[in-house]
Structure formats: C-alpha cells, structure tokens
Structure 1
Amino acid sequence: MNDNIQYAAQVKPTERQLLVQEMEFYSFIHFTVNTYTDEEWGTGKEDPQIFNPAELDADQWVEAVKAAGMKGLILTCKHHDGFCLWPSAYTEHSVKNSPWKDGQGDVVREISDACRRGGIKFGIYLSPWDRHEPTYGDSDVYNEYFKNQLRELLTGYGDIFCVWFDGACGEGPNGKRQVYDWDAYYALIRELQPGACISVCGPDIRWCGNEAGHCRSSEWSVVPASLQDNEKIHENSQQQDDREFARKFSSEDEDLGSRNVISEARKLVWYPAEVNTSIRPGWFYHASEDDKVKSLEELLHVYEGSVGGNATFLLNLPPDRRGLIHENDVLRLRELGDAIRRRYSVNLASGASASASEATEGHGPEHTLDGDRDTFWAPEKGTEQAVIELDLGEEQTFDRVVLQEYRYSQRIERFTLECQVDGIWTTIYNGTVVGYKKICGFDAVRSRYLRLNITESRWWPNLSAFEVYGSDTNA
C-alpha cells in the first residue's frame, strides 16, 4: 500500500470543521445597496440614502431559514460596494448615513440577535474587495482598515460560526492592485473567534468550484494542501459581474483527491467542500425574478447532491426592498423543508440487524444502526474490502440509502449496494466516496435484505451509519 494512502486515511478535521459539516445546510443572505439599484455588483458610488428597508423583520428571515431545515445564516455585512450594514467607526459609507431608523439602525445586530433567538448559528461575509474605500490599493493602509472592520464584527455580535471571504476582484490591469494580508486576517479571526471556520478564501472550507449547485461525483475532504491558496489568487477569481460565471463547471478540477492526485502531493489537508447557489438567478433581489425561484425538484436535487455528496449546502436568500424574504421564496423554503423532513423521517433500518464479513474488537456492525456518530464498524487494519448485510426483519419498499463514515476520517473509495429479490442479489447502486454523508438514490425496490460491498478503501474502511428510507411520492 502506498504510504500516502495510509497518510491520507489519518488526516483528520478540526472541531470547527466538524461543527459546520454537521450543520449540513445553512443560508446566505445577500443584502446591500444593490437591492435598491437592481445591480449584482455595486460601484461604491451609491448614496447611502437609497438604503431604507422600512419593514425589515429579522425574525421573518430566521423563520424562513428554519422552515427549510437550515441551521445557520451568513450575512453579507459588506459587499464589493463597500457599504456596511453596521455603523462602522471606520467609514461613513454605512447604515448610519441612511434614512433607515434615522441612521440609528444596525442590520448586523438585528440579524445576529434574531439568529440567537431562533436557535440558529450566525456567520459573516466581509468582502476584501472594496470599491468605495479610498485606501483600497494602498496595501498596508487598507489592510489595517479591513482588519479594523473585521475586529468590529468579531467582537460586537456574539459567537460567529463562519467568516466567509469572497475571492471576487474586478479591478482591471489599470485598476488598484491591493495585496491582501490573508495571514493577518486569519490570525485575527483565530484570536477573536477561535471556533469560527474561515471559508472559501480560507483554510477551513473550500468552494466546490461553481455557483450552480454542482457537486463532484467523488468529493474528497482530504486534498492537496495547495488547494487552500487557489481562491486567493486574483487570476482564478471572479473578475466580472457575469451571470455565466455562476454556471461554469471546471472539468479539469473534477478530481481533487483520488489516489492518483494525492500520490503526487507533498502535504495533505482536511479541506471539505461547500456547495453554494442562490434560490433565484441573482444573488441580490430583483423584482423581475419573483417568478424565477428555483423549483422544489431542483432544490431537492442540489440538497441531495451536496449534503448527500460529502459537502455542505449554502443556499442564498435575497431579501427584497422592504427588508423581507419575498413570499415566493418563503413558500418554496417551507416546501423544501417539508419534503426533506418527510423523505428522511422514518429510518426503515432502525429495527434491523447487521452482520459483516469481519469486524475488529469494539467495532461490530451493530454500530452502523445505533444512531451514535461516535461509534462505527471497522474490519482489521489493512483490510480494504469488506461486506455488511442488513436484515430489515420484513420486506420493505425503499429508494434511498444513507451512509456515513466515522466523522474523523474518510476512507471508502468505491462500493455497491445490493438487495435480495426472490433469493437473488441484485445491484441497485454503484458509488465511489462516502465521507460525512452519502445519499444513494435509486428506483424503488422491495426487499428484506440489503448488502453493502466495499470494493476499494484506504487502509481499512469504517461506517458509522447505514440508514434506509422509503419512497416519498409527495416530495
């Protein structure tokens, strides 16, 4: 066995990475002056007087998020236009010079407080690119400005689960060339919010590579360390307000963690993927898109492909000019949450029994059925192929199987699912990686017996959960 394979099998996540992975599904909120100019990227020249969400209701946002089953909310506290949704002491380009609440309002305060009341986690987005701030391009001076604003957000609004940094930069060859001090930004976050993940332009969670909701068929959490720098390179970032960028898939990056890739890497890191897309075509609210909210079927597809593909799902919801999540979006979010809860509410394997081709002491196959993420089945070290069988006790009709590995490793590389029909084992699903969670969907079958064949794995496989769900014709 290649030494790098054993090395890869032992790379582990941090507790902050696990916290976000286990949230699974959370929301993005894009809201700024663009909401009032009907633009996606602001120029930085907008008059703060246009910002007036007279009916802003933070609890309405949180309830919409919770209805869909999301566990957190990340707010665009400052987008590329430089307008701050909190009364920053370091610029006049903020809510304090808007008519909203006579300049006494603080959107970040209202949303962070509502998240706590609603029992969901709060995160911040702060754009390093700032088209309004005159010191942008004077690298040392602007870096201090940015850190000052970051410090305000990290110390004034309670616990933050995520700091989301965007790599977008539209400055042309004759534009301002700002050198971001990423290491200083990261150090400040680690000092003030040590539990917060730093996402995309950061070391904790990586971007899946597109804004279309696409997830790789094999999404590895253990990848070459060099990937942590990809989004920080201007040439690789989004440089135009181009809707087509949201639809592009990068086929050359389809394989990030296979044996071939990691065999050539000097250093490997745990760097899980996040899939992000918007519930509408745009990231900010546009009245012309009120009838273009993604369908329930499309959102379910993205949910199962991301959460069920070893990634997290970040779904953007753009509040309208009133300061509310639009009624059409609220309805779709409720439908989505209801469909997910209905589809995954009854685990048909809850009363099943499990057997395995082999198991090491203390890690028997029964641990795949106990609902405990801290226990798992595993064969002896060095065993890369193994089989687990479930006896559901009686024939059941099902069309989904959910697999989960032990949270501190990712080892399964290839597997098949079989069920027994009329005494004959029939393949119903072929899969590659599992990781945190793999949702295997297939045409409904009726059987009492299920078999998981692990045909390739790293060093030795493990499995923490083996769940079975029935058909949901109403989803």
Structure 2
Amino acid sequence: MTKELIRYAAQIRPSERQLAVQELEFYAFIHFTVNTYTGKEWGMGDEDPSIFNPVEFDADQWVAACTSAGMKGLILTCKHHDGFCLWPSRYTEHSVKNSPWKNGTGDMVKEVSEACRRAGIKFGVYLSPWDRHEPTYGDSPRYNEHMLNQLTELLSNYGDIFCVWFDGACGEGPNGKRQQYDWDAYYARIRELQPNAAISVCGPDIRWCGNEAGHCRTSEWSVVPASLRDNEKIQEKSQQADDREFARRYQSDENDLGSRAVIQHERELVWYPAEVNTSIRPGWFYHDFEDDQVKSLDELLQVYYGSVGGNATFLLNLPPDRRGLIHENDVARLQELGDKLRETFRTNLAIGASAAATESSAGFDAGRLLDGNRDTFWAPEEGTEQAVVELDLQREQTFSHVVLQEYRYTQRIERFELEYKDGEHWKPLFEGTVVGHKRICRFHPVASRHIRLKITESRWQPQLAAFEIYSSIPSA
C-alpha cells in the first residue's frame, strides 16, 4: 500500500455521536410487545391489543437489572414488526391506548425513558420499518409519511435519545406491495430532532456485527469500506451495479472488513464501528420454556470480552415476561456478570508505575499512557509504525488482564505482542491484532514487575492512550 493510502486510513475519525456509543460499551435491548403474550418472535400484526396487559410492569426493575450488570444504556422496542406501539401514537389504533394495561392510559416509552434518566443511563429507541399491521405499508409515499410521523413522536416527547435502532426486515404489505423505505428522509428527521442520536444497523453510525449469536471477530476494524453503510438496507438500496473496478462487495458477516488487504482497493473509507447483539435467552421475546436456558456466566463473559474487549459494543437483549418484569433467573445472571466484571476491573495495577518507550514524539511521552485521560496519548514520530513500550510496576504484581486503548479519534494498531519479564528474560504473554477503543487481553495469571508492549504493525504511527493492568484473582 502507498504511504498516502496508509495515512488516509489512519486519519479517518469518528463523529461525536459514534464516540458516545462506543464509550457506553455495554447496553441493553428490551424486546417487549404483543409477541410476549402470543409466544411468537415475529407477530403478524393482527393481534388484539386486549392481550397486552403487563399488570406488574416496573420500568425501574428493568433498569436496575441493567445497571447491576454494568450496562450504561437501554434500547426499547417501541414498535416491532407487528406494528403494536408501546406509546399512545396518534397515527395508529394498534397501541397501548387500546389495551387494558392502565385502562389504556399508559405510555411505556415514557416510563422507561424516565426510569433510565433516574438511574443515569442512556435511553434509545427501536422502531421497526416493517409494519405488518399498518394498512399503508407497501404504499410507499403514504407509509413513509406514517413512519416519519411516528419517528417524530418518539424523538420529540421522550427527552434525549442516544440511539435510533433500525431493523432491515422488509416484508410484503397487506396490499401485496413491497415497501420502498425513504432512508434519507428518516435520517434527516433524526438529525433534525435528535442530532446527537446515533443511527444503528440500518444507518450510517453503528454497524451490525453480522450475526445474532454473539460471535465476535478476532480483528474488528472501525475503519472500513464506505459501502458497508448500505449493507443492511433493502436490496434495491444496497446494490451498486455497473461498477466493475469495485464490484467486490464486503458483507457484514465476513471475517475481515478492514485489513490492509481489504482497504487497498477502496476509494472511500469511513468510521463505522461494530455492535455485537445477542439475547440472554435463545429467543428475543420471552418464552416461559426458556426460563432454564439463560446464558451462563461464562457464555456472557465470552461475548463481553469478544465485543467490549475487541473494539465493538455489546447490546444484550433482556426479554421481560408477561408480568412486565425481567425474570428472576435473568436478574440473577446479570447481577453475577456485573459482580464479576467489577471484581476483575476494580484496581488498575499500573497506577503508580513508570513507562518508557523506544521513542516518543515531542509532547507525547509514554507517561501519558498512565494518566487516565483518553484525550492524551503516547505516540512516536510520524511514519514510525513499530515501537516498544515498557512498564515498571515498581514491585512484583500478579496479573491476568491487560487493557489497551487507542486515542479516541483514531484506530491504527494492526498487530502487537505483550511480554513479561521473568528474572532476566522476557517471555511471551499475549499476541493480538487490532486495539481501537478497547482491547482486553486475557491470559493465565503471571507475576512480574515488568511488562512490555511491542507494536509490530500499525498505520502511520500508533497513538495509544491507555495501558492498564488488572488481576482476576480476588484480593485477600
């Protein structure tokens, strides 16, 4: 690759709204609608609103379950494919206003958004473009106006929204026609009413990881081909024909989306970070027969370390039951997960350490790795793509986790190695590829006073903001 292309890739930057989501790291999905009462995953749109009656609904219980796990946000399925609205929309009768819940006076979106604010976590909305109930669906201009009206309600009446999450599902309408979504109009309305909200999956800000199983890539790049922004939209929007030179189209489920081998053929790169989404149970909506199928602590930790610890965010679905509560089994597992994470990352053993690098550019010395500030960073001179940083912990410490974070506005490290000093000899500890927002390196506990990071491949120059060390062994 040419130096010009490498420098271009290194200088791709995120927007503030993208950064805000990346720095949340771990947040909840709540799937709740008439499906909870019919046992379906995708409702048909012909459900009677009278079946919706979560008599014990408690938004604060939902949020408490989220915060116990360390989550910093919640995205509510305000309308799923069945078209049933969890708020009293003016633009349909298929909503909570015609249910027995609170005698038709309830507004679940309002209660959940307010509970999030009380607890100090962010609130986001999921609005399905596919609506199996709405009679105008498939009459594209009329339905697009309907969609904009409902977006306006959600973005105007419930305070700050951190994310608008769009699914890409597109089915046939009740009139036998297929809807052509006006994505540009949807995006414009969001930017007008909630300029700080990220638009996720079918949107330009946060991309889908490519699966719903919690599978995470070994190398997750935030800097990727611009064409990926269209992948989850309907086919008519996403295909780009008659472009032979760039006919190769990368799909969301491919393993490599941002290496040099990929980007060397691209004319345009964008910052488009990944979100890993999966459910705590097999289904996205609650089913009582899955009460004993809640993911284990080890399974959740595996996804957490692969996503949050691998330069992606983690969106974990929690399906409330028919009472309107997060089930006790799920609540217990979330508490267990939060306790484990808090125990592991309670004490940064690098506090009080000293840092030295093989080289540093003026004003970007290695001490900046240890100052706890994501806006300061260590960097060698421009054009220096390999370097070594060594930490002296001042005394021997036992540790099992290293957390690396690049400068907030860049992703450059392509490959690195960690080593620890055993007597007079350096021994291998961990090998990794990308770092990005956060890379959590896990290994069997070792005891040493010295640890070093060898950056063996990077773009233009590495810019590293944090080098933290933790032990998973409970303190005495």
Regarding TM over 0.5, the answer is yes
- Per-residue CA deviations over 1:34-77 (Å, capped at 9, x if unaligned) read 00001100000000000000010011111111100000000000
Q: What is the Cα deviation at residue 328 of structure 1? A: 0.5
Q: In structure 2, list runs of 5 or more residues that go unmatched.
A: 239-250
- Per-residue CA deviations over 1:18-41 (Å, capped at 9, x if unaligned) read 111001100000000000001100
2:199 maps to 1:209: no
Residue matched to 2:417 = 416
Q: What is the Cα deviation at residue 471 of structure 1? A: 2.8
Corresponding residue SS for 1:266: coil
Conserved? CA contact 1:68–1:337, under 8 Å: yes
Q: What is the Cα deviation at residue 4 of structure 1? A: 1.6
C-alpha spacing 1:252/1:205, structure 2 compared with 1 (3 Å): closer
Q: What is the Cα deviation at residue 462 of structure 1? A: 1.1
Conserved? CA contact 1:167–1:234, under 8 Å: no
Residue matched to 1:168 = 169
Corresponding residue SS for 1:305: helix
* Aligned-residue RMSD, C-alpha: 1.7
Q: What is the Cα deviation at residue 213 of structure 1? A: 0.8
Residue matched to 1:470 = 471
Q: What is the Cα deviation at residue 230 of structure 1? A: 0.3
Query: What amino acid maps onto 1:107 in structure 2?
Result: M
- Tell me how far apart the structure 1 counterparts of residues 236 and 296 of structure 2 sit (CA, whole Å): 34
- Tell me how far apart the structure 2 counterparts of residues 351 and 429 of structure 1 sit (CA, whole Å): 23
- Tell me how far apart the structure 2 counterparts of residues 175 and 352 of structure 1 sit (CA, whole Å): 67
- Tell me how far apart the structure 2 counterparts of residues 297 and 465 of structure 1 sit (CA, whole Å): 27
Residue matched to 1:62 = 63
- Per-residue CA deviations over 1:306-332 (Å, capped at 9, x if unaligned) read 000000000000000000000110111
Q: What is the Cα deviation at residue 236 of structure 1? A: 11
Q: What is the Cα deviation at residue 176 of structure 1? A: 2.8
Q: What is the Cα deviation at residue 234 of structure 1? A: 4.3
2:426 maps to 1:425: yes
Residue matched to 2:398 = 397
Conserved? CA contact 1:406–1:463, under 8 Å: yes
1:275-290 matches, within 5 Å, as 275-290=276-291
- Tell me how far apart the structure 1 counterparts of residues 42 and 407 of structure 2 sit (CA, whole Å): 42
Conserved? CA contact 2:403–2:439, under 8 Å: yes
Q: What is the Cα deviation at residue 252 of structure 1? A: 6.5
Conserved? CA contact 2:170–2:234, under 8 Å: no
Residue matched to 1:243 = none
- Tell me how far apart the structure 2 counterparts of residues 24 and 235 of structure 1 sit (CA, whole Å): 33
Q: In structure 1, list runs of 5 or more residues that go unmatched.
A: 238-249
1:288-437 matches, within 5 Å, as 288-437=289-438
Query: What amino acid maps onto 1:398 in structure 2?
Result: F
Q: What is the Cα deviation at residue 5 of structure 1? A: 1.2
Q: What is the Cα deviation at residue 170 of structure 1? A: 4.0
C-alpha spacing 1:458/1:183, structure 2 compared with 1 (3 Å): same
Q: What is the Cα deviation at residue 472 of structure 1? A: 3.0
Residue matched to 1:246 = none
Q: What is the Cα deviation at residue 422 of structure 1? A: 1.9
Corresponding residue SS for 1:347: coil
Residue matched to 2:241 = none
2:103 maps to 1:107: no
Q: TM-score, normalised by structure 1?
A: 0.95
Residue matched to 1:247 = none
Residue matched to 2:245 = none
Corresponding residue SS for 1:444: strand
Corresponding residue SS for 1:464: strand
Q: Which runs of 4+ in 1 moved over 6 A?
A: none
- Tell me how far apart the structure 2 counterparts of residues 116 and 251 of structure 1 sit (CA, whole Å): 33
Conserved? CA contact 2:172–2:179, under 8 Å: no
- Tell me how far apart the structure 2 counterparts of residues 168 and 3 of structure 1 sit (CA, whole Å): 39
Percent of pairs with identical residues: 74
- Tell me how far apart the structure 2 counterparts of residues 155 and 251 of structure 1 sit (CA, whole Å): 32
Conserved? CA contact 2:230–2:237, under 8 Å: no
2:140 maps to 1:130: no
